[in-house]
Amino acid sequence: MAPRNTPPSSGKKSAESPKKAPRAVAPDFSDSYDETQGEGGETHQIASGDVPTLTTQQGAPVADDQNTLRIGDRGPAALEDFHFREKIFHFDHERIPERVVHARGYGAHGFFELTKSLSDVTRADIFQRVGERTPVFVRFSTVAGSKGSFDLARDVRGFAVKLYTREGNWDLVGNNIPVFFIQDPIKFPDLIHAAKPEPDRMFPQAQTAHDNFWDFISLTPESFHMIMWAMSDRAIPRSFRFMEGFGVHSFRLLDADGRSTFVKFHWKPKLGLQSVLWNEAVKINGADPDFHRRDLWDAISSGDFPEWELGVQLFDEGFADQFAFDVLDSTKLIPEEEVPVQIVGRLVLDRTVDNFFAETEQVAFCTQNVPPGIDFSNDPLLQGRNFSYLDTQIKRLGGPNFTHIPINAPKCPMAHFQQDGHMAMRNPVGRANYEPNSWGAEGGPRENPVTGFRSFEEPVEGTKRRLRPESFADHYSQARQFFISQTPIEQKHIGDALVFELSKVERPDIRSRVVSHLMNIHDDLADTVANGLGLPLPDAATAARPTIHLEPSAALSIVRNGPPDFGGRKVGIYLTDGADAGVFAALVKAIDKEKAVYEVIAPKIGGVTLSDGAKVAAKQKIDGAPSVLFDAVVIIASADGAALIAKDAASQDFVRDAFGHCKFIGYSPEAMPLFVKAGIADDLDDGCMEIGSSNDVAGFVTACRALRNWNRELKVDMDARA
């Protein structure tokens, strides 16, 4: 790999003098195109051989639709790239007023508190003073679905943080996955078009289990690292509170002297990682399509404020030069074993919005919003995002003055000469609205070379062309690393997800192409998916570079990074009349001590009368409270109550689903008839714990810290036994 701190050579210039160009003449296209009549009588031109040449909207033929125009192999993007600008601008303007991507979102206010100074590597004010708090607004989202879709789609989750610093807004616009599908932004419209509902039928909604998406993926090998993440449990998180966030790209930190340090940003949840099963996600979407929204609202409203730690991976040009992959490639990550994550701050969400539309819907994030001391790398995808986001916000919010909306306005002093425009709420005051001017102190603001933003001074040279660097060419090695870093149960879930998604694809050749890529990732995974689809194993897809073995990384597994306790989780307690009051009281006390929460479920919403005559109100009626809404469940019933609920289909589903989803189940001995009727009485395992008295409660709650009894899945899933 060429050193990163020296620009790539463009090669020797030719010693020959350039030949004089011939005089231009009007071209004759009559031999290149045939005319064909449309249904409405209109005339179309198509390229000879029935394959039309791709053109811009102005009709200019396109030579390369795969790469943006850049200076040098790894250099910055060129502003003159009219094809990319037209393509991304048109994509940005496709829908109004809903966001094209990340349409379904939910936000909250809070603060960022610095816990470790980074003054040695950056001049950014936000990283100077330990203990100082900076206001923030965070918006979580799904990517593919519309604003009215459901929360538990299998999808990437947006994790966008707006920090209102003393030096202006810093928008760290990331995801819950540290890599992305594509390497070059010119492919972003194609990716999203492929993932969205198919345009002729406008379904499926918020799902990638269809031909268009997998056709695109099967023809885009660079996507397969991201596919491993998207088909893992990372794509169906249990809660926003239990998922990580990543800045995805490599950024730069600059100190007062302009010295650069590369940085990758990580948000790590204090409550640990947790996801749901796919069957569980499907049922949650039916029972409560606002599940993630409700969870965040309830947690903040109850004072159980969600918290993440901000971690940074810091590395220099020397590491970038020797690292096995290009740090400018957004389809790659840097394993934490190679560059440890240093915790430097904490993010706390402690206030819900006053009005969803005014704040969550109108908040405008732009990746180019960074304070002095933070700068961009030449990651082509990041450069494309910087180019696109401003145009997107202008389109969505009606004009250039979207920063006048309170949720987008900086909380530090502002001074500039920008004026007028649609919905201007403030204009510069005074005579001068231009710079430079000679009006002295009354002439308005002036630039400040000392405190103002300065870009990293990087020498750039090279041939101006469209290309994908050779250092971006390994598409499978990190995909394999991710897969082998998972626990066996997580590997099973990836295989299950691929089989499910591809079983919805109608064309066998697309399914086969996907499996051919999996052959380059892991033989067992390819064999599992092919077997699940009833497909013969194809030959492996041709790889630009052979897959290399990388050591597993424990940080990539959810199960290995679960919670230290049961805090922040929810227990569903199903009660009947006559339920043991002592057991119920002990259970509530133990749940509170664990800093978890509970909801009482009953046959009737009016509640129940316990064995001591006390009345307990119900939060949920059993018909509207399936066990998928809870992290663990307990059934405390009297003999008469158990006989009643054992006949009820919703009650049977409650325990049957909890068992099938590998949850911990507590039950009073009297409740056994319900398990018999549900057909699982003979299969109860050590994750199903009898609570005969209050003395048994503590052991049950302690066991719940493991979240799932994963061994059970291998016994109840047909695919696991195949």
The predicted pLDDT at position 718 comes to: 67
The helix/strand/coil state of 159 is: strand
Q: Which of 102, 249, 475, 661 is catalytic?
A: 102
Q: Which residues pair with 58 in a beta bridge?
A: none
Q: Is 169 one of the annotated active-site residues of the chain? A: no
pLDDT averaged per 10 residues in sequence order, the chain, 722 residues: 37 36 38 39 46 77 87 90 84 77 97 98 97 98 96 98 95 98 97 96 95 98 98 98 98 97 98 98 97 98 98 98 98 98 98 96 95 96 94 90 93 89 86 90 88 91 93 98 98 98 98 98 98 97 97 97 96 98 98 97 97 97 97 98 97 98 98 97 97 97 97 81 50
pLDDT of residue 255: 97
Distance CA 581, CA 695 (A): 13
CB burial of 338-358 (b: ≥16 within 10 Å; e: otherwise) equals ebebeebbbbbbeebbeeeee
Q: Mind giving me the DSSP string for 14-57?
A: PSSPPPPPPPP-----TTTEEEEE-TTS-EEEEEGGG-PPPB-T
Beta bridge partners of 661: none
End-to-end CA distance of the chain: 45
CATH 3.40.50.880 domain position(s) in the chain: 566-721
What pLDDT, on a 0 to 100 scale, did the predictor assign at position 28? 41
Selected catalytic residue, list 175, 285, 386, 408:
175
What 8-state DSSP symbol labels residue 620?
E
pLDDT of residue 93: 75
160: number of CA atoms within 13 Å, CB side?
Answer: 26
Domain boundaries 88-404, CATH class: mainly beta
Residue range(s) in the chain whose domain bears CATH number 1.20.1370.20: 471-559
**Which pair of tokens denotes residue 114?**
């610095």
Integer-rounded Cα Rg, in Å, for the chain is 29
As a whole number of angstroms, the distance between CA 516 and CA 56 comes to 33
CATH assignment of 566-721, given 3.40.50.2300, 3.40.640.10, 3.40.50.880, 3.30.710.10? 3.40.50.880
Spacing of C-alpha 457 from chain mean position: 32
- Where does the chain hold its CATH 2.40.180.10 domain(s)? 88-404
**What's 471-559's CATH class?**
mainly alpha
β-strand pairing of 260-269 with 307-315: antiparallel
To the query of whether residue 475 is one of the catalytic residues in this protein, the response is: no
| CA–CA separation, 74 and 81 (whole Å) | 16
pLDDT score, position 720:
63
SS3 242: helix
- With a threshold of 0.85, does the pTM exceed it? yes
- Quick check: 138 and 300 in contact, CB under 8 A? no
Beta-strand (E) ranges in 147-199? 157-165, 168-175
